[in-house]
Structure 1
Amino acid sequence: MKKNIWKMLLPIALVCLISGGIFYMVHQHQVKKEQEHQKMVKIATSKEAKKVYEDFIKHEDPDAFTSNGFVKTYKVDTSSLKYNPMGGLMVTVIVNDKQNLKINFNLIDNEDGTYSSAYYGMSSRLGEQLRN
């Protein structure tokens, strides 16, 4: 009788143990991924990163952030943040709360507390608006 119980309990225990291990690994991966995303958000919304965005915007629209300028506001699209495999953090900035007015940056850490951008790209709609 005892052998039959052990034959039934052993597979159940193994399944529980394996399932628990898989659950733990998946949970740890999700926690690590969330921590990494928070790190990217901290970088992308930092004062130093905002200087990069604002310098570029003011270069393209000298009257930006004034009543005479086209660009009134911008915000970082934190849902689109990702690391560039060639280096840097890819950031999308949304202008005037309009999804079709975007600027893309590749933030590079200058190792002195400042950031620069390896490239800038903007949506064609924003480019048209800034030319007018």
Structure 2
Amino acid sequence: MGKLLKRTCIGIISVLAVIGLIIGGYQLKQQAEYNEMVRIVKSEEVKAIIEEDLNDIHEGALKEGNSIYSYQIDEKSIRHNPMGGIMFRIFLNSDEKLVVYYTLQKDSRTGKIEYSGGGYSQEVGKLIGDGK
């Protein structure tokens, strides 16, 4: 009976070790993908997209004396879009109520990151006089 119990314990421990390795590998892969998305969102290419979009939203954005004078990327909001690409949000003027949403995708032909959708909070609409 002792040998059977020992073999059963070894078998259970082996199965648990394999499950642990699979879960750990999956989490490592997820973390690597997240780190890559953060790197992309913080890139100069995406910075140019954000700043161009903010100027489209409100002319003169990020210039001295403008109602939109700064932005911060919310790293906690960065995630993979189910349709492909990356979704994230930014806060304007260090105010978490002033939110602009972005979805970016990589052009399969050119490899460039492109703006593919987004929007902004009602508070941003009020700030820029959008009437929403």
Shift of 1:60: 2.0
Structure 1 residues 59-78: aligned runs within 5 Å: 59-78=56-75
The structural deviation recorded for 1:116 is: 2.1
Match of residue 85 from structure 1 = 82
Q: Residue 77 of structure 1 aligns to a residue in which SS?
A: strand
Q: After superposition, what is the alpha-carbon deviation per residue over 1:1-51, rounded to whole angstroms, capped at 9, x for unaligned?
A: xxx321120111111111111111111111011000001101111100111
More strand by share: 2
Provide closer, same or farther for how the CA distance between residues 70 and 113 of structure 1 changes in structure 2, counting only shifts above 3 A: farther
Whole-angstrom CA distance in 1 between matches of 2:13 and 2:112:
50
The alpha carbon displacement at 1:98 in A equals 1.4
Quick check: 1:88–1:108 contact (8 Å CA) kept in 2?
Answer: yes
Unaligned runs of at least 5 residues, structure 2: none
| Stretches of 4+ aligned residues off by more than 6 angstroms | none
Q: Which residue of 1 aligns with 2:48?
A: 51
Distance 1:58 1:51 in 2: 11
Task: Identify the range of structure 1 (59-68 vs 91-100) with the bigger mean alpha-carbon deviation.
Answer: 59-68
How many residues are aligned here?
129
Correspondence 1:13 to 2:29: no
| Structure 2 residue 104 is matched with structure 1 residue 107 | yes
Distance 1:105 1:58 in 2: 14
1:95 partnered with 2:97: no
RMSD between superposed Cα atoms in Å: 1.6
Q: Secondary structure of the residue that 1:119 maps to in structure 2?
A: strand
Tell me if structure 2 keeps the 8 A contact 1:48–1:113. Answer: no
Identity fraction in percent: 22
Greater relative contact order (Cα < 8 A, sep 6+): 1
Secondary structure at the aligned position of 1:64 is classed as coil
Which one has the bigger helix percentage? Answer: 1
Q: How far 1:113 sits from its partner (Å)?
A: 5.2
Using structure 2 for the length normalisation, give the TM-score.
0.88
